[in-house]
Amino acid sequence: MTSDAAITIRDAHKTFKGGVQALRGVSMTVNRGQIFGLLGPNGAGKSTLVKILMTVIHPTLIDGDLLGKPVGHRATLRRVGYLPEHHRFPVYLTAEQLLHYYGGLEGMRRPERRARIGELLDLTGMSAWARKKVGGFSKGMQQRVGLAQALLHDPELILLDEPTDGVDPVGRREIRQLLLHLQSQGRTILVNSHILAELEPICQQVAILVKGKLAREGTVAELTADRQRWEVEIDGPEPTWIDTLKGVDCRTEGTHHCLSIGGDAAPMVQQMIDLARGEGRTVRRVERIGESLEDLFIRSLEESGEADAATPGAASAGKAGK
Amino acid sequence: MTAVLSILHESWLSLRAQGLFKLTMGLNLLVIVAFASIGFTDTGVSMFFGLSHADSEHVNANSPWAKLLYLGIFSAIIVNVWLAWIATGLALLSTSSIFPNFVSQGAVELTLSRPISRTKIFLSKYCGGLLFVVMQVSVFTTGAFLAAGWRVGAWDPAIFLAIPLITLFYSYLFCINVFVGIWTRSTLTALIVTLVFWFSAFSLRTAENLVTRFVYSTEIQMQRDDERIGELMHQIETAHGPAITTFETRLDEQQKSLEANRTAHEKLEAWQGPLQVARWLVPETSGTINLLKRSLEHDASATFEDLMSGELFRESPRRNRNADFEADAKVSDRENARPVWWVLGKSLGFEAVVLAAAIWLFRRKDF
C-alpha cells in the first residue's frame, strides 16, 4: 500500500558544528503528484532540509519518510531526482559523458542510459551541445543539463534547489512548463526557490521556512485567503450610505472613491454596486484582490518576529560558523 | 558494479584531461627510449643507440654481467630515481586535487545523493586516483620489458612487478593525501602534508639505517680492538727489553680506542631502539620499491652495487675491508633480508588505518 505523501517530515532538527541551528523542529508533508514550493530567505534552512532528504547532510534529529521509506534509506534515492543549488559539474566532461556518469551512479546500464540521454537532451534543448564540454557552458545551459541529470533515471520524486538560477526569462518559462509536464506524468516535485513569482502559478502547496522553523504551510489560496479583499471604484462624492455597510473602508482617489472590503464578501459587493447605481453613479472597477505569494512571504517574516530573517545566515544558538 | 565502473571511468577521463598526465606520460616514454638506447658491443657498452661508447673488459656483449647491469639500471636507477621520486612527485601534484575537488560544495552533492554507499564512493574514487600511477607505470614497465628483452635477452616478467609495487608505494602517500584532502578540502594543504610525510618517512628510514650502520661499525671496531688487544698482550708476554714499553703504549691506545667505541656504541644503541619503533609505525616506502630489485636479483650471483663498485672484480676478500664498508654491507644485507610480509604487511596496515580514518570522516561529514 502506498501512502499519499511523497515526503513526510516530523520534527527535523539540524545543528551544525559550532552551534548553528539550521533546522529547529520542522514538520511538513508533500503529497504525491504535487508541485510543492519550499520558500524562505537565505539561511532559513531550505537547502539543509533538502540535503538531509538526499543524505548529503546528517540530521541531528528527524522522523520522516521519503516515498514510504525512512529518510536516509539509500535504495529509495534511486526513485528520487535531485538538482542541488550552485552545482559544479566536472568541467572536462561533455554533456553526454556527464549524463552517462550520473546515470551510471544510479545503476543504469549503458544501453538504457544512451536511450534516455538522447531523450532528455532533446527535452532540455541541449541536443546540439551533447558532445561539448560542460566547462564551456553558460550558467543557464548548465542548469538545463542539471535538470536532465535529475530526470535521467525516471524518478518519481524530484527535488530542485533553485532550478531557474541563472536561466534567462525564456528558459525560466520553459522550465516552468517542464515542471507542469512532469507533474502531469504523476511525478511529485519539490522546488526550493527565491523567485516567488515563478512558483506562484505552478505550486499547489507551499511551505515557508524562517530561521529553521516552519512559518506557514498550505495551498497558496488557503494561506492568502484571509488577506483577500474586494475593491469597488465609483464616481461622485463620498457616498452617505457607506456607514451603513459594516467593514467597508472608503478612500478618495481624485474624483473617484474606492470602497474596500476584506474576505469573501461577494453579497456585500453586490449591495454596494446596487446602491451606487441607484444614485446614478458610474461603477468604474470591481476587483477581487488576493495577497501575492511575495506578500505572504514578507508577512510571514514580519509575523515570525524575525525582522532580520532575510539576511544571510542560519539561526544561531551560540557562536555562529559552519 | 555499474556505479563503481562509472566512477573509475570518470576518474580516467579526469586524468586524460590533465596536462600533467600527458606530460608525465611523455617523460616516461623519453626515459624508456633512453633506457632502450643502452646496448652492449663486443668491447663494452654503447649509449644513445651507438652515438657514445665506453670500453669495458668486464661488461660487454659476451659478459655474463651485461644482464645484471641492464636490469640494475632499471631497478636501482630508473625505478628508484625516476619512478620513485620524480614521477611520484608529478603524480602527487596531479592527483592531490581529486578529493578536495570532489568534496567541494556543489560537486559532492551530485554524487552523495545517489543510491550508493559513501564507503563504496570513497573506495572507487580512491582507486580512481591510483589509476594515474597504474597507467603511467604500466606503459613504462611494458617499455622496460621490451627494452630488456631486446638488449640483453632478459624476457623477465618480474619487471612487471613494478606495477603493483610502485602503485603500493604511491598508495601509502595517496592515503595521507586523501585523508587531509577530505578533512581540510584544500589541495595545497593535502599536497604539503603529503610531501612532509613522505620526506619524514624517508628521513626516518635513512636515520634508522644510519644509526644502525654506526652501531654495526662500532661493533666491528670493538671486535677488532679486542682481537688487537689479545695480539698485543701476547706480544708483551713474548717480548723483551724496550719493545715491551712500545707494545704497552700500543695496548693502552688500543684499550682507549675500545673504551671510546664502547661508549659510542652504547649511545648509538640508545637512539637505535626508538628509531626502530618509529620506523615500525610508518610505511616502508623505499623498502617496497626495493622489493623489485630484490626480485630481479633473486637468482643472480652478485648485486648491481657489487658490479658498480667494482667489488665483483676485486680479489681482496670482504673481511679486509674497513669497518664502515662492512657495516654498510651489513645494513644492506639486513634490508634485503627483511621478509616481504614485514615490508608490505606493516605498510598496508598503516594504509588501512589511514583509509579507515578517512572513510570514517567521509561517512560522517556534512557536505
What is the pLDDT averaged over residues A135-153? Answer: 93
Q: Is the pLDDT of residue B66 over 90?
A: no
Residues of B in contact with A89 (CB under 8 A): 107, 110
If pLDDT is split at 50, 70 and 90, which confidence band does A316 have?
very low
- pLDDT tens per residue across span B105-141: 888 999 999 999 999 999 999 999 999 899 999 999 9
Q: What is the pLDDT of residue A318?
A: 39
Residues of A in contact with B367 (CB under 8 A): 51, 56-57
Q: Is the pLDDT of residue A321 over 60?
A: no
Q: Could you give the percent of chain B with pLDDT greater than 90?
A: 56
Residues 71-100, chain A: which have Cβ within 8 Å of B?
74-78, 80, 82, 84-90, 92-93, 97, 100
Chain A CB within 8 Å of residue B105 CB: yes
ipTM, 2 dp: 0.80
How close B115 comes to chain A (CA, Å)?
5
Cβ pair B13:A93 closer than 8 A: yes
Mean pLDDT value across chain A: 87
If pLDDT is split at 50, 70 and 90, which confidence band does B304 have?
confident
- pLDDT tens per residue across span A193-252: 877 777 888 999 999 998 899 988 888 877 777 777 888 999 888 888 888 888 888 888
How close A214 comes to chain B (CA, Å)?
22
Do B293 and B304 form a contact (C-beta atoms < 8 A)?
yes
Q: Among A46, A4, A88, which residue's Cα sits nearest to residue A212?
A: A46
* Fold for the domain defined by A5-222: Rossmann fold (3.40.50)
- pLDDT tens per residue across span B22-36: 898 999 999 999 999
Chain B CB within 8 Å of residue A32 CB: no
Q: Is the pLDDT of residue A307 over 70?
A: no
